[in-house]
Amino acid sequence: MGHPPNEVRMADLLGALSLAADLGVGLSAEHAARSCYIGLQIAVELGLNSEEYADLYYAALLMDAGCTAFTSQLGAYILGEEISARRDLYFHTDVGNPLAVMGWLVRYMAAGQPFPVRASRSVDFVLHGKDRMREGFRNTCDAACRLAGRLGMSSRVQNALRSIFEQWDGGGMPLGLRGEAIPLISRIVYVTGFLEVFHRLGGRETMLGLARVRRGKSFDPRVVDAFEAASARPGFWETLDRESIWETVLALEPESPRRFISAERVADLAFSFADFTDLKAPHLVGHSRRVAEIGRRLGERLRLPAATVSTLHLAGLLHDLGLVTLPSFVLGKAENTLSPAEREMFELHPHHGQRIVARIPAFDAVAELVAAHHERMDGRGFPRGLAGAQIPVGARLIAVADRFDDLTHGAPGREPLEPAAALRVMRDEVGGSLWAEAFEGLCEDVREPGVASPRMRRRGWPSGLTDREVEVLRLLTRGLSRREMAAALVVSESTVRAHLEHIYAKIDVSSRAAATLFAVEHDLLA
């Protein structure tokens, strides 16, 4: 089937999202793509029908789509870089072995903190770590499931993502499902995720050895047997050993109603990418949507062509996609406390964002703006040090929108400013970091009644939520604990718990991440 004009391939979009997720969980680029390839070979051996094959293809590429949903809580809990900690705990630590867990705690728990802090956190992990990890996996699964639904994936794909960390022997999370109670697609994706990592580590024999050791334990025996049969076929290893496998996986995309997306839907789906990014840290929730909207309005004020404004809006939604490569622990620090290494990591995020967006051929112009949104008019920006007219106009507009939203919504160690105060700060930055014409357009925009004012209460919240419940939901999206919410609302912790139970029931979610996505999707953030 040819590529219809003015449409985008779903696989191109998922290739970008999967690359972002690979980097977000600290694995090699194309981890999900290679896992997908292995899974499709297993599917052939198992005789999956065309619908199941398509569902497996998309579920494999979306396997880590919820990876940003719990990182900030994990980073705050271990007081350190959570990407490596999570990867090593999940892939390389036998959680049933106390000595292995102790080794992980020594390496990662509150590393660099005073001994009493490390000891306290380690004891808490021994007592409550399983519950905390179960909460983390629930957030991750719920976010992946919700994002898949927004991308138009089938209910089977969504259900598979809900069970993506379950194990054949019942030792998985968050539900503890066992055996055939786990969807077959979930069982395949779970196995292939591990097999790909161990293939990278030790090659064919290490990969085969892992499959045999875990057969009938965490791995479904039928899936392992199908993998061994597939791996014996000519060409299996030669393909897997290639430096890049993406073009092969792209060519394997099955015929399905989801294969192509109309241009009209692309912008809607870009919101999913924006929310995936902004889940990375509580202070970022809703940021990309707001930057995209401000940028769009600025583009219209400068009378840019409609097509250019559309590209600008997409770039605003995707401008911070590279932040998924940073540990949430770093994003949660005040800017003036970053170490030189942490600052260098931060300054690479536009490069990573461009690298990710470049996976979508139709987004070449968007990728250029993503790459340049932290360049400065005086040439002192990053990552390339462009100056003045070297910086694309769209990137200059996004820089102004980004700065305004950053100032008016606050960040770790810095309280939000009123719009007028933010503009005063920005006026001093014009000509240095900011483009004068874009800043003047922003001033005009803010002067329009209601444009930059905090959202007023409105009649009729979605799903029958009350004013008080929306207030609680907003605190939840900011990453506050129940105790912190109770203090902010001057109520008891049990009252907050009751509110949360009612909210979750009304909006049909079971985790903080899903509730946060609901709030963003329904424009409930203050």
Q: How far apart are CA 262 and CA 150, in angstroms?
A: 15
Alpha-carbon separation of residue 287 from 172, 276, 279, 457, 520 (angstroms): 34, 11, 10, 20, 10
Give how many domains the chain has, as a whole number.
3
Domain coverage including residue 495: 462-521
Structural tokens at position 289 = 């949507």
CA–centroid distance for 294 within its chain: 22
Are both 205 and 342 inside the same structural domain? no
pLDDT along the chain (526 residues), means of 10: 74 95 95 98 97 97 94 91 93 89 94 93 92 93 95 95 96 95 98 97 96 97 98 95 95 91 85 95 96 97 95 97 95 92 95 96 94 97 96 98 96 93 97 96 85 53 94 94 94 95 95 94 89
Structure tokens belonging to residue 77: 């809990």
> Which residue pairs, CB below 8 angstroms and at least 24 apart, start in 403-407?
403/429, 403/433, 403/434, 404/294, 404/442, 405/287, 405/290, 405/291, 405/294, 406/287
- My answer on whether 467 and 420 are in the same domain is no
393 falls within a domain: yes
Statement to judge: residues 314 and 409 lie in one domain = yes
Q: For residues 249 and 33, is the Cβ–Cβ distance under 8 A?
A: yes
Tokens of 13: 């979009």
pTM, rounded to two decimals:
0.92
Q: Are 226 and 340 part of one and the same domain? A: no
Question: Are 42 and 69 in a shared domain?
Answer: yes
- Tell me: do 110 and 229 sit in the same domain: yes
Is 106 in the same domain as 228? yes
pLDDT score recorded for residue 450: 55
- CATH (domain of 475): 1.10.10.10
pLDDT of residue 456: 44
Q: What phi, psi does 411 have (nearest 5°)? A: -160, 170
**Residue 59 domain flag:** yes
CATH code: domain of residue 160: 1.10.3210.10
Whether 31 is in a domain gets the answer yes
Let me know if residue 253 belongs to a domain.
no
- Residue 127 domain flag: yes
In a domain, 296, yes or no: yes
**233 and 127, same structural domain?**
yes
Strand-pairing partners, residue 219, are: 215
Which of 183, 214, 243 is the endpoint of a domain?
243
> Is 48 in the same domain as 157?
yes
255 occurs within a structural domain: no
360 lies in the same domain as 442: yes
What's the confidence (pLDDT) of residue 454?
45
Q: Provide the pLDDT for residue 262.
A: 86
